Structure 1
């Protein structure tokens, strides 16, 4: 009889101790899981704030680039429409006061690249941090922004650059003395022209006259206007997708802070 009671007591004790252990493990697991979720949430908020700041930086860059391109577009449209009847005095004045927004060199010799400060958003894809973001819409918009919209925009910017480089090669191969005079410059001259530190009225006017005499000059401008249209189109699409991402990130951060 005692043996049976002893066995029963032992069995109850075993059940109790086992239950305590299981409960302890469960509580420990729950605490660890809760802490892990809290840590992941903290990291996600930090990540979203970093993306938010990066978006603001990109928007400033895009606005600045858009203003320059739009101003240059207006000048290109005028020159194209009035190639045989250019008001040299007016255009020369515009180029003299345009800095690097409206300049002869940027219009016919140099080119505009597109390098938004997008390193923060790029890095979260490369290092796997994107997985910490729980909102799938944000993840999809980030991927679409980089892999589609930025890629399409850069492809068209590259096409415009290639066009301008081909025109430069044609100028380099020219024996025309007026063209040689256009290309001849120095570091000091470029700085003085961009920062309006000296009067280059006559040289700017002579540059316009020399380019105007080239059939390739008019053709180049026409092709550049065509290519610029697509640059502006994809720039606008990039801006729209960036704004969508910004709104999604702002909304997610607002929910996280409730």
Structure 2
């Protein structure tokens, strides 16, 4: 009887040990898979963040140029012909700043795929997750919101110019730069409503650039954290 009991006890322990060992092996393999997925997610995020950096550098350059042109046009103290000619060079470029707007559409396909697939769960760092949300949701919406505000002003401004100063649109690009700019500046200086709308546009541009700077700071902070995690393995 004792022999049978010992026999069955040993068999039971062997089975339990086998199950436990198998469970531990499966758990270890799952841990390795999770680590692989985590590194894959972080690497894909790093690639996209580098792309966003390049995109933001290009956007900032055009945002600043447009803003400078508008500020020169509404300044009462100087005509700034040479300054505007230096940064734009053509009536077409001045026209973009005057009656158009620059969109803001950073690459987000990788991030959106990670979110839709639920792969972000493999990233254990709460600070990285928080920064991702801040970058791609909060601050992104601030920049885009101001772009939309600028778009509304652009529509009003385009309508006003086409009604009150159709020659700016019809003949603007056929003139040499000096004549075009001087005529445009004189029209703005002599029309309070024209200047007021441009001041609204200038203010919206300033706020847009402010939030773009915050976006870039958050982006750089996030890149540093992801780079550190990737270096740690």
Superposition TM-score, scaled by structure 2 size: 0.88
**2:34 matched to 1:34?**
no
The residue aligned with 1:4 is none
- Aligned residue pairs total 232
CA RMSD between the two structures? 2.6
Query: Partners in 2 of 1:44 and 1:122 — Cα distance?
Result: 16
Query: Partners in 2 of 1:43 and 1:150 — Cα distance?
Result: 27
The residue aligned with 1:236 is 213
The residue aligned with 2:109 is 119
Within the candidate set 168, 171, 177, 1:201 is matched to 177
Q: How far 1:217 sits from its partner (Å)?
A: 2.3
- CA spacing shift, 1:126–1:212, aligned 2, 3 Å: farther
Q: How far 1:97 sits from its partner (Å)?
A: 2.3
The residue aligned with 2:85 is 93
Query: Partners in 1 of 2:38 and 2:91 — Cα distance?
Result: 43
Q: Is the 8 A contact 1:96 1:200 kept in 2?
A: no
Bigger radius of gyration: 1
**2:46 matched to 1:52?**
yes
Instruction: Looking at secondary structure, tell me which structure has more helix per residue.
Output: 2
Query: Partners in 1 of 2:143 and 2:84 — Cα distance?
Result: 31
SS at match of 1:71: helix
Q: How far 1:107 sits from its partner (Å)?
A: 1.6
Q: How far 1:119 sits from its partner (Å)?
A: 2.0
Q: How far 1:31 sits from its partner (Å)?
A: 0.8
Superposition TM-score, scaled by structure 1 size: 0.80
Query: Partners in 2 of 1:20 and 1:208 — Cα distance?
Result: 92
Deviations 1:9-41 (A, max 9, x none): 211111111111111111111111111110110
The answer for unaligned runs of 5 or more in structure 2 is none
Give 1:170-209 correspondences, 5 Å limit. 170-172=160-162, 174=163, 176=164, 179-184=165-170, 200-201=176-177, 204-205=180-181, 206-209=183-186
- CA spacing shift, 1:11–1:73, aligned 2, 3 Å: same
Query: Partners in 2 of 1:59 and 1:184 — Cα distance?
Result: 38
Give 1:90-169 correspondences, 5 Å limit. 90=82, 93-94=85-86, 97=89, 103-169=93-159
Query: Partners in 2 of 1:211 and 1:147 — Cα distance?
Result: 38
